[in-house]
Homo-oligomer: A and B are copies of this chain.
C-alpha cells in the first residue's frame, strides 16, 4: 500500500514549492527567454505560485541570482589540471573562474553583490592563494594577491558586459564617440593618435595578458 509521500514531522503549513524548484525554473526562464524575462511574477507563474511566495525561499531577487550563479558554477566549474609552477597555477585557476563568469553575463548585476566566495569557487580561491604562497609571498600578502586578481577579474567582466550592452543598443549616440570626436592633439596626443583605433583596441580580449602582468608583478614582491 502506498504511503503518504513523506510523513512530515515539522509543524506549520507544508511548503508547496522549494528553493530548488525555484532555481530550476529560474534557470529555464533564463535559458529560454533571456534575463529580461526573469521577473518574480514570471517566475511565480512558471511554478504555479504567487510572487510573494517566492520570498519565503529567497530573500530577494539578488539572492536568487547569487543562488543561480552558485548552481551554475557547481555544474560548470571543472577543476582543471594545474601546472606545477605556482605562478602558472594562479593563472590557470583565475582563468577558469573568468571563463565561467564571462559565459553568463546575467550575473553581472550580482557579481559585486557577493564576492564570489561561493562554495564551488572556494577550491579555485585556494589554488590562487596557495600559488602565491608558493611564489614566496607571506600568507597575508597571498590573500591580498587573490583580492587583486579578483578585482581585476570582476572589473574586466563588468566593464566588458557593459560595453557589450552598449553596443547592443546601437541607436543611442555612443558616448565614447562624442568624447573621442574632438580630441585636442596638443592636450592628449597619445589618445588623439589612437582615437580611430580605440574601439578596435578595446574590443580585443586582453584578459589573460593583463592577468599575467598582474600575477608577475604580485609574485615579484
Contact B114 A147 (CB under 8 A): no
Contact B161 A129 (CB under 8 A): no
Q: A190: which of B108, B126, B148, B162 is its contact (CB, 8 Å)?
A: B126
Chain B residues with CB below 8 A from A221, complex form: 213
> Which A positions have Cβ atoms within 8 angstroms of B?
59, 66, 108, 112-115, 117-119, 122-123, 125-126, 129-130, 133, 139-140, 142-145, 147-148, 150-156, 158-159, 161-163, 166, 172, 175-176, 179-180, 183, 187-191, 193-194, 197-198, 201-202, 204, 206, 209-210, 212-218, 220-221
Q: A123-B187, A217-B214 are in contact. Are A206 and B147 (CB under 8 A)?
A: yes
Contact A190 B118 (CB under 8 A): no
How far is A62 from B180 in the complex, measured between Cα atoms in Å?
A: 20
- Give min CB distance, A16 to chain B, whole Å: 25
Contact A142 B190 (CB under 8 A): yes
Among A122, A123, A210, A221, max chain B CB count under 10 A is at A210
- Apart from A140-B197, A151-B152, A155-B155, list 16 A-B contacts with CB within 8 A: A114-B176, A115-B162, A115-B163, A117-B180, A118-B179, A123-B188, A142-B190, A144-B201, A144-B206, A148-B210, A152-B152, A155-B158, A210-B218, A213-B218, A213-B221, A216-B220
